Amino acid sequence: MSAIAVAFCVPSVAQAQDQARSFDVAEQPASSGVREFARQAGIQVTLAGRDAEGRKTNRVQGDLDTREALDRLLAGSGLTVVSFDGKAAILGNAQADSDIVVTGGAVTFANNNVTRPMIERQSVLSSVNDVLNELPGVLVTEADAFGSSDAATAISIRGFDTLHIGATIDGIPNGGSRYGGGSKANRYLDVLDLETVNVSQGTADVSSPSNEALAGTINYISSDPLGDPRLRVVLAGGDWDARQAYVRFDTGEIAPGTRAWVSGLSSSVHDWIDGSGQTTRSHIAAKITSQLSRVDLTGYVSFDDANESEYGGSSPANFAKNPLVDTLIGNWVGIPYFDQYYRSGSRALRKNLFGYLKAHTEMGEVNLTLTGYGHRMTGRGDYVPPYLVDVTNDGVGAPNSEYLGGKTVYSAGNLGNIYFVMPNGATATKTPGCVAPAGLPADYAPSCYPANAVPVQSYRHTHYDYSRLGALVSLDWRHDFGGFTNVVRAGTWFEHGRTNTVRDWHKLTDARVSYAFDGQPYWVQYDIDDGAEEFMYYVEDVLTYGRLSGRIGVKQFFIDQQRQERTNTKLHTDMYKQSDPLLSFGLTYATPIEGLELFGGYSKNFAGLQRNLLGGDQRLLDLTEPETARNVELGARYGGRNLQGSLTLYDVNFENRIILVPSTFITGIDYLNQVSGLYLNVGGIKSRGVEAALAYHFPGGFSLSGSYSYNRSKYLGSGNPAQDKAMGVTPGVQVANSPKTMFNIAADWHRNGWKLGVASKYVGNSFIDVAATSEAKHYVVTNGYVGLDLGGIDGLLKGMGITITVNNLTDERYLTGTGRLGTPRTVTAALTLDF
């Protein structure tokens, strides 16, 4: 079976069960034996093609539960169960790591898994989001090769952005991916603890616990503990002063049926543009699996502490002048207008604590899974606005209390801005009619003020404190009715969340020297508590007769949100919304051609309202409807011994899109959030396209794979040209950061301890703005790696390996559809020590 090819086959997640049932699997080569077992068990199974080569699986016959049957199938084969949760299994070589491939029963929507080579082509310092880029229809853009700027990370699928794509970690919701108050998957899971990522484009599984999944769901899956004890140390370094030290200890079986691992890392990297910004990260995680009587337990916990320097944007015009410079600067010059762009002054500080405990049991024909989880994020976002905000009327000619310090004002309003002060702290008077030097507005020009005037500047902090607790319940019942097999699935998801957001302003102690700031804020702009209770239920029925399988399901969301301002007007707003019952259905047909399957499906997806909407007028909130999307997919997939392929056609209609319709406009950076307007359901997005993947595994450990996608995503207008213009939307144009065409081709070779691979991705032209006035041209990015197991050279080096990774091998210069500079060539090396 192909190592890379089968990775693009679509796996089953809808019909998985763990219960007593009848098996009749003949002894045969492992590749076909695993495939037949997956078909009879109705579960998803992943296995590496190179691990299957030369191996046989045993005959399995009789009425057995799925796990017992799987153990009998693999006994003595040299294969082991890496992960099993009753619905899916990951198999591997008992002695080595593997490339991940997918076999098993069908689902009625496009679904792809990340393979081991896709992970190996990324640096060990990279983000778990980087590994998605080779999947069809998926585009991930980041500021550097390591994903070190969360604000600059964007994921696009079928014209939908990060905020409309659901994300889960081992099936647990991430709590939202917004920069302000959200946490992407890289905050929960490190790439060295990653097993695979499952991407459901467009249509997510009916049980998916996410209220953002208009464009499907990305499920990041952590690796399970190993069966034998192992201590792994990974030391890595590379360009841009990149450094990382990682340690993981797998306990092996510490009690009957109980295994665990714990890992930790520390990393740092400087920005690649001028080297002035440094990002640091510490991450600790642990996982345990245990079998207690007839209950399978899985627990996971992680803590992540990141302090990120930011990257600025660019434009086609500026990129043409210099493709190596963004809008930020690396040196403090003492003039606030320029220093507002100081790279280290724009920072994101985040701490995330996350954990879950999952229990799975079988009761005859019924499977029950209970999960509880918790998450807390605390953090801060920093900027350096080029002025002090005048929030106290100190009197004409009197020293400004904002400058003198020692006092904090709590209010929303302000009297204007202070740019320069006299030595006593009084506002400096600008020279009437002063003409400032080119590129510098007169308000900010030192030459327009008295010679002894002192520039002033703020450090603006937005503090986040976000906590949530949740529970998932899923119940599966499978029964054979003669020639029919019926599976009923049902479950619920509940989450309780609380967020406190505080924005305060600090005076820079001496804006002429550095961005050091006074500890006591001179102004607290707002202090807001947000709360949300979310509930979702789902029911699905899957009926299989011979080669034909059909499913129909429904899910519904209920969301109750509240906001309380603790300062200023003490405004209270609340919003209760429920979705319509969201219907999904589909068919799969296993054709007489072995390995060829046809599928089709429909679903209606839902996105809850973002917290920022609660700051508006209560009457308008009551009229605002949640966003929805209708998805239709038709496709075929083929899984042969060496050849694998898939083809999907899709049609997506995004309705009730919520957009800020501005009523006033300002120039420059809106540090004070002065743009006012209304959030309205206006227009939407229409997407149609095709996604294809093909791969072939050759003898000798060589494989080729590739993917192609064509996506026509266009904005739908409001029907009011003036309103569309105010929103910056041009109906009919391609959605921003959504290229029409993308394709990827990759080659990999594993043999005799060597591993090497290369992959190139073409990204077509894409608009940077929604008005389609600025365009990023097409580009090609090539990543490669080479690695060697040193133990194959000398037995004294057993357990040692080295891998060199090169991102952007050809050093392509490009501008992304998010308006940011593409990452230049980045080389990293990693030494792995196993004990």
- CATH 2.40.170.20 residue window(s) in the chain: 236-384+461-778
**Range with the lowest mean pLDDT among 98-102, 172-176, 656-660, 773-777?**
98-102
Res 629 pLDDT > 70: yes
Tracing tokens 């009730």 back to the chain, one arrives at 656
Length, in residues, of the chain: 835
The CATH classification of domain 5-222, taken from the options 1.10.10.60, 2.170.130.10, 1.10.10.10, 1.10.357.10 = 2.170.130.10
Q: CA 662, CA 158: separation in Å to the nearest integer?
A: 27
Least confident of 191-195, 701-705, 726-730: 726-730
What are the DSSP calls for 516-554, one per residue?
A: -B-SS-SEEEEEEEEEEEEEEEEEEEEEEETTEEEEEEE
- pLDDT over threshold 70, residue 101: no
Contact 165, 155 (CB under 8 A): yes
Q: What DSSP letter does each residue of 576-589 carry, written as one string?
A: EEEPPPEEEEEEEE
**Which one-letter DSSP state was computed for residue 179?**
T
Rounded Cα distance, 330 and 271, in Å: 10
Q: Tell whether the model's pLDDT for residue 727 goes beyond 90.
A: no
Under 8 Å between Cβ of 767 and 775: yes
Predicted confidence at residue 16, as pLDDT, reads: 35
pLDDT digit string, tens, across residues 564-582: 988 877 888 888 888 899 9
What single DSSP character describes residue 193? G
Are 136 and 46 in contact by the 8 Å Cβ rule? The answer is no
Q: Show the beta-strand stretches assigned E in 228-276.
A: 230-238, 242-255, 258-270
Query: Which residues are 834's β-sheet partners?
Result: 232
Confidence band for 11, pLDDT divided at 50, 70 and 90: very low
- How open is the CA angle 646-648-651, to the nearest 5 degrees? 170
Instruction: Please give the pLDDT value at position 102.
Output: 38
Query: Is residue 262 a contact partner of residue 250, using CB atoms and an 8 Å limit?
Result: no
* Dihedral class, residue 568 (left if φ above 0, else alpha if ψ from -120 to 50, else beta): left
The full DSSP string for 353-419 is EEEEEEEEEEETTEEEEEEEEEEEEEEEEEE--SSEEE-S---TTSBPHHHH-S--EE-S---EEE-
Nearest of 169, 259, 286 to residue 217 by alpha carbon: 169
Q: What angle do CA 661, 663, 665 make, to 5 degrees?
A: 105
Mean pLDDT of the chain: 87
Rounded to whole angstroms, how far apart are CA atoms 573 and 12? Answer: 43
C-beta of residue 197 within 8 angstroms of C-beta of residue 90: no
**The pLDDT value given to residue 394:** 92
Q: What is the pLDDT of residue 639?
A: 82
* Cα 294 to Cα 141: distance, rounded to the nearest angstrom: 44
Q: What is the mean pLDDT of residues 267-280?
A: 96
Q: Which helix (H) or strand (E) segment is 282 a member of?
A: strand 278-292
Kind of pairing between the strands at 684-698 and 643-655:
antiparallel
Q: 3-state class of 317 per DSSP?
A: helix
- Among 245-259, 278-292, 328-342, 646-660, whose mean pLDDT is lowest? 646-660
Name the nearest CA neighbour of 775 among 730, 738, 731, 744.
738
Q: What angle, rounded to 10 degrees, do the helices at 66-74 and 30-41 form?
A: 170
pLDDT digits (tens, 9 = 90+) for 738-783: 999 999 999 999 888 899 999 999 999 999 988 888 999 999 999 9
Cα torsion angle, 821, 822, 824, 830, sign: positive
pLDDT score recorded for residue 53: 61
d(CA 459, CA 547): 65
pLDDT of residue 619: 67
- Residue 677 predicted with pLDDT over 70: no
The Cα 579–Cα 629 span in angstroms is 12
pLDDT of amino acid 93: 63
Instruction: Please give the distance of CA 499 from its chain centroid, rounded to a whole number.
Output: 21
3-state secondary structure 8-31: HCCCCCCCCCCCCEEEEECCEEHH
Q: How far apart are CA 827 and CA 145, in angstroms?
A: 9
pLDDT at 440 > cutoff 90: yes
Q: In the chain, which residues fall in CATH 2.170.130.10? A: 5-222
Distances 420 to 329, 359, 446 between C-alpha atoms, Å: 22, 62, 8
pLDDT value of position 592: 93
463 - beta bridge partners?
A: 380, 502
Residue 514 clears pLDDT 60, i.e. is over it:
yes
Q: Is the pLDDT of residue 165 over 80?
A: yes
- Residue 617 is predicted with a pLDDT of 63
| The residue to which tokens 């029963």 are assigned | 105
Q: Beta strands of 13-133 (E only): which ranges? A: 21-25, 28-29, 44-46, 56-57, 60-64, 79-84, 88-93, 102-104, 112-113
- CB neighbour class for 565 (10 Å; exposed up to 12, middle 13-18, buried from 19): middle
For residues 203 and 109, the answer to whether their CB atoms sit within 8 Å is yes
Q: Six-digit token pair at 146?
A: 């390591």
Q: pLDDT category, 679, cuts 50, 70, 90?
A: low
Phi/psi zone of residue 471: left (φ > 0), alpha (ψ -120 to 50 degrees), beta? beta
Q: Which residues contact 473 (CB under 8 A, 6 or more apart)?
A: 368, 369, 370, 371, 491, 492, 493
pLDDT at residue 726 in the model: 72
Residue 403's identity, in one-letter code, is: Y
Question: End-to-end CA distance of the chain, in Å?
Answer: 31
User: From CA 38, how far away is CA 40, in angstroms rounded?
Assistant: 6
CA–CA gap between residue 152 and residue 316 (Å, rounded)? 17
pTM for the model:
0.86
Residue 682 has pLDDT above 50, yes or no: yes
pLDDT higher than threshold 60 for residue 17: no
Q: 3-state class of 599 per DSSP?
A: strand
Confidence of residue 43 (pLDDT cuts 50, 70, 90): confident
pLDDT above 90 covers a percentage of the chain that reads: 61
168/159 Cα distance (integer angstroms): 20
Instruction: Decide: 396 and 402 in contact? Cβ < 8 Å.
Output: no
CA atoms of 783 and 140, how far apart (whole Å): 14
pLDDT at 482 exceeding the cut of 90: no
Spatial separation of the C-alpha atoms in residues 687 and 714, rounded to whole Å: 6
Predicted local distance difference test score (pLDDT) of residue 724: 75
pLDDT tens, position by position, 361-418: 988 889 999 999 999 999 999 999 999 999 999 999 999 999 999 999 998 788 999 9
Decide: residue 162, CB within 10 A, 0-12 exposed, 13-18 middle, 19+ buried.
buried
In CATH terms, is domain 236-384+461-778 a member of 3.10.20.30?
A: no
pLDDT value, residue 557: 93
User: Max alpha carbon distance in the chain (Å)?
Assistant: 95
Taking Cα atoms as reference points, which of 105, 120, 125, 132 lies closest to residue 707? 132
Query: Running DSSP on this structure, what letter comes out for residue 128?
Result: T
Rounded to whole angstroms, the Cα distance separating 832 from 835 reads 10
**H or E element, residue 622:** helix 618-623
Confidence of residue 616 (pLDDT cuts 50, 70, 90): low
- Going from the C-alpha of 401 to that of each of 405, 428, 521, 526, the distances in angstroms are 6, 14, 11, 19
Write out pLDDT tens, residues 27-36: 887 877 888 8
- Burial class from Cβ neighbours inside 10 Å (0-12, 13-18, 19+) for residue 291 reads middle
